[in-house]
Every structure is written in C-alpha cells, then in structure tokens.
Amino acid sequence: KQEVTQIPAALSVPEGENLVLNCSFTDSAIYNLQWFRQDPGKGLTSLLLIQSSQREQTSGRLNASLDKSSGRSTLYIAASQPGDSATYLCAVRPGGAQKLVFGQGTRLTINP
C-alpha cells in the first residue's frame, strides 16, 4: 500500500529565504507526482506535475524534483514571499491507478 509522508508538518521562515519542502513515498511504482497548494478553506491549486520519467519541473520560483528510486521529491521555493503562505500537499498517482495518494501536507508561513 502506497504511503506518502511530508516533513516538516509546519515551517515558518522570514521573507526572502529559499526553502525546501520534502515528500517521501513508499512504493516507487508511480505514474506521476503532483504538488498542490491549498489556502485555508479553499480548494487545491496544482503547482507542478512530474511524470515518472522526469527528474524535475520548474514554474517561476518553484522547482520540483523527483528521485523515484529513493522514493523522494522536493519542492524548492526561491525568494519566498508572504503570499506563499499556505499548505503544500504532495500526491502520488500509483501506477495503473486513477486515484491520488496524498501526504498530510506542510503548513508554510512566510513572515514579512
């Protein structure tokens, strides 16, 4: 059974810092891995999707990497801003499955 873990559960950093969020998964047989952002009481916004054959994806100040063999992904946020404050969720799609398996999320606070 696929399990996804995100560490840390919460993170607070000053504005302008670069930071890394971690995601690990137990079964390397995945189709893809998706990073989402969720603001309080809102829906999920897709940030990046990395296919199983890819090593990384970039969008603006965000860079996500995938090491399938070790069961790890990282989300790098450059030059953090207060508007980046949200919960970040990592989700993997197991091979052959239509469902996503989510981690518990990292609650990120960027202090002005």
Minimal distance in Å, beta carbon 79 to another protein?
A: 25
Name the amino acid, one letter, at 48. L
Nearer to another protein, 18 or 46 (CB): 46
Joined together, the tokens standing for residue 18 give 């670069």
Read off φ and ψ for residue 55, nearest 5 degrees: -105, -30
Q: Please give the residue ranges that form the binding site for another protein (CB under 8 A).
A: 31-32, 34, 36, 41-46, 49, 51-53, 89, 91, 93, 98-100, 102-105
Backbone angles phi, psi at 56, to 5 degrees: -160, 160
Q: Which residue in 94, 105, 4, 7 sits closest to 47, CA to CA?
A: 105
- For another protein, which is the closer residue by CB, 63 or 94? 94
| Shortest distance, position 111 Cβ to another protein, whole Å | 21
Least separation in angstroms between residue 102's CB and another protein is 4
